């Protein structure tokens, strides 16, 4: 029943227009500390009171949305066009920020992707001005 409750809560958020591009997942919060998740469920079943469960879920949503807000704030696209980043594009930008710059071969190695797969991720980032080429072989994320 606990999985069903989480699914219904997530569905309700989507139904009301939250996270239409799937930029957050409350499930991460639940997986971070499984014992706390099961404790909250157990307490709800024992007390037959939803207050603790609702507080636990609300805290998870708050923490998740704070993480999303920090992620969103770290991206300042130069382009005026709206760009929706995939999780792989976010990972690529983070790798570029962490390493300073990377060549295409190293990116392919780190992301375990084909040359074409990496280019499919990179091209929109280059066009939006989030990534720039340095020399002939290096790419850098623009802060």
Mean pLDDT, the chain, integer: 78
Task: Provide the domain limits for residue 123.
Answer: 87-141
Interatomic CA distance for residues 34 and 96, integer angstroms:
32
36 pLDDT above the threshold of 70? yes
Give the domain CATH number at 113. 1.10.10.10
137 within a domain of the structure (yes/no): yes
**Does 135 or 55 have the greater pLDDT score?**
55
Q: Is the pLDDT score of 123 beyond 70?
A: yes
User: Would you state the pLDDT for residue 41?
Assistant: 86
Statement to judge: residues 10 and 70 lie in one domain: yes
Does 32 have pLDDT greater than 60? yes
Identify the domain boundary among 19, 45, 74.
Answer: 74
| pLDDT range class, residue 1, cuts 50, 70, 90 | very low
CA 30 to CA 16: how far, in whole Å? 22
| Torsion, CA 70, CA 77, CA 129, CA 87, rounded to 10 | 50
Q: What is the count of structural domains for the chain?
A: 2
More confident residue, 1 or 10: 10
The β-bridge relationship of strands 138-141 and 131-134 is antiparallel
- Do 56 and 112 belong to one domain? no
Arithmetic mean of pLDDT, 69-86: 66
What is the value of pTM for the model shown?
0.45
User: Is 34 within a domain?
Assistant: yes
């Amino acid at each position: 029943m606990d999985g069903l409750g989480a699914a219904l809560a997530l569905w309700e958020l989507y139904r009301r227009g939250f996270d239409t591009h799937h930029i957050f997942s409350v499930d991460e919060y639940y997986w971070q500390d499984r014992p706390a998740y099961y404790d909250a469920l157990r307490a709800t079943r024992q007390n037959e009171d939803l207050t603790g469960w609702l507080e636990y879920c609300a805290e998870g949503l708050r923490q998740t949305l704070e993480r999303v807000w920090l992620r969103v704030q770290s991206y300042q696209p130069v382009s005026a066009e709206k760009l929706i980043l995939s999780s792989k594009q976010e990972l690529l930008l983070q790798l570029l920020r962490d390493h300073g710059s990377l060549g295409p071969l190293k990116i392919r190695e780190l992301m375990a992707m084909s040359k074409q797969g990496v280019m499919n991720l990179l091209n929109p980032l280059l066009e939006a001005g989030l990534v720039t080429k340095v020399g002939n072989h290096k790419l850098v994320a623009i802060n």
